[in-house]
């Protein structure tokens, strides 16, 4: 398929853009925060600007080369794992075979820095129907001006099932923010298997709007040790 500029656009990339419109909304919000700057800061991120995407949104912190952990995570990520993912590494949502490539992608997000979109799948198994998903990673500055945070969004389509889900990487697209170069990479081997300023990480809960009694908030917050 050809895009507006005549370039060939991979079908899977088109599906990510059309199938998961909230991915585009989160990236558009992040681009708005840049406002001509190289990168937005973590403190600029306000949950009110992400209200529709909050169940799927997260903030990750780089804790070592190629390793990031969840500091803030929406309810959908908890549902995928069947547990609270805050404080867990991003790799916990991936099958072992995908973790080395994931580590490389995470490091590129912080080092280059890069915008990264990833097409994911989770194979069928006992208590686990086949599942497709999309992941977006957007670099952020911390309060020292270092690229050590990332705003993310992970959306799956289909029934999650009774057991925790882990994903393989089906395809990916990265955009280098320094050079503007965009690279799309198919992974042929992947198969089956009123709010405070920014996200207030010192708080233990976050409810972006008044909700009926008994309804879980879309996003819960945690303070982890720096």
**Judging by DSSP bridges, how do beta strands 147-157 and 131-141 pair with one another?**
antiparallel
Q: Return the domain boundaries, the chain.
A: 11-195
In the prediction, which pLDDT does 10 show?
A: 47
Mean pLDDT of the chain: 82
> Mean pLDDT throughout 200-219?
44
Which of 120, 136, 132 shows the shortest CA–CA distance to 158? Answer: 132
Alpha-carbon torsion 199, 200, 206, 209, what sign? negative
Q: How far apart are CA 100 and CA 110, in angstroms?
A: 16
In the prediction, which pLDDT does 15 show?
A: 52
pLDDT tens track for 141-161? 999 999 999 999 999 988 898
> Mean pLDDT throughout 194-206?
43
What percent of the chain clears pLDDT 90, i.e. is strictly above it?
A: 64
Give the orientation angle of helix 11-19 with respect to helix 21-34, to 10 degrees.
80
In the prediction, which pLDDT does 125 show?
A: 81
pLDDT tens track for 112-139? 999 999 999 998 888 788 999 999 999 9
Say yes or no to pLDDT of 183 above 60.
yes
Say yes or no to pLDDT of 162 above 50.
yes
pLDDT-derived band of residue 53, with 50, 70 and 90 as boundaries?
very high
Q: Which CATH superfamily is domain 11-195 in?
A: PAS domain (3.30.450.20)
For the chain, how far is it from start to end, CA to CA, in angstroms?
45
Beta bridge pairs of residue 136: 117, 153
Q: How far apart are CA 146 and CA 93, in angstroms?
A: 26
pLDDT-derived band of residue 40, with 50, 70 and 90 as boundaries?
very high
Say yes or no to pLDDT of 211 above 50.
no
pLDDT tens track for 79-100? 999 999 999 999 999 999 999 9
Q: How far apart are CA 151 and CA 30, in angstroms?
A: 8
Helix (H) or strand (E) holding 116: strand 114-122
pLDDT tens track for 185-199? 886 544 334 444 345
Q: How far apart are CA 219 and CA 78, in angstroms?
A: 10
> Mean pLDDT throughout 32-60?
94
104 within 8 A of 68, measured Cβ to Cβ: no
169 within 8 A of 91, measured Cβ to Cβ: no
pTM for this model (two decimals): 0.78
In the prediction, which pLDDT does 196 show?
A: 41
Say yes or no to pLDDT of 57 above 70.
yes
Strand-by-strand arrangement of the 147-157 sheet: 182-186, 168-176, 114-122, 131-141, 147-157, 57-64, 67-74, 219-221
């Amino acid at each position: 398929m050809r895009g507006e500029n005549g370039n060939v656009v991979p079908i899977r990339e088109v599906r990510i853009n059309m199938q998961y419109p909230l991915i585009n909304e989160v990236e558009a919000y992040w681009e708005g925060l840049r406002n001509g700057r190289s990168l937005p800061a973590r403190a600029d991120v306000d949950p009110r600007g992400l209200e529709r995407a909050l169940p799927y949104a997260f903030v990750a912190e780089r804790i070592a080369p190629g390793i990031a952990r969840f500091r803030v995570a929406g309810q959908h990520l908890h549902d995928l794992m069947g547990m609270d993912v805050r404080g867990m590494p991003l790799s916990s949502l991936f099958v072992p075979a995908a973790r080395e490539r994931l580590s490389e992608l995470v490091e590129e997000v912080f080092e280059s820095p890069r915008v990264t979109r990833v097409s994911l799948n989770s194979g069928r198994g006992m208590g686990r129907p086949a599942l497709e998903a999309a992941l977006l990673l957007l670099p952020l500055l911390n309060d020292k001006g270092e690229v050590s945070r990332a705003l993310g969004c992970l959306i799956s389509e289909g029934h999650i099932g009774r057991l925790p889900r882990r994903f393989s990487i089906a395809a990916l697209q990265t955009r280098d923010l320094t050079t503007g170069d965009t690279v799309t990479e198919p992974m042929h081997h992947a198969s089956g298997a009123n709010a405070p300023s920014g996200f207030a990480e010192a708080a233990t809960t976050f409810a972006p709007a008044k909700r009926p009694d008994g309804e879980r908030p879309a996003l819960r917050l945690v303070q982890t040790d720096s």
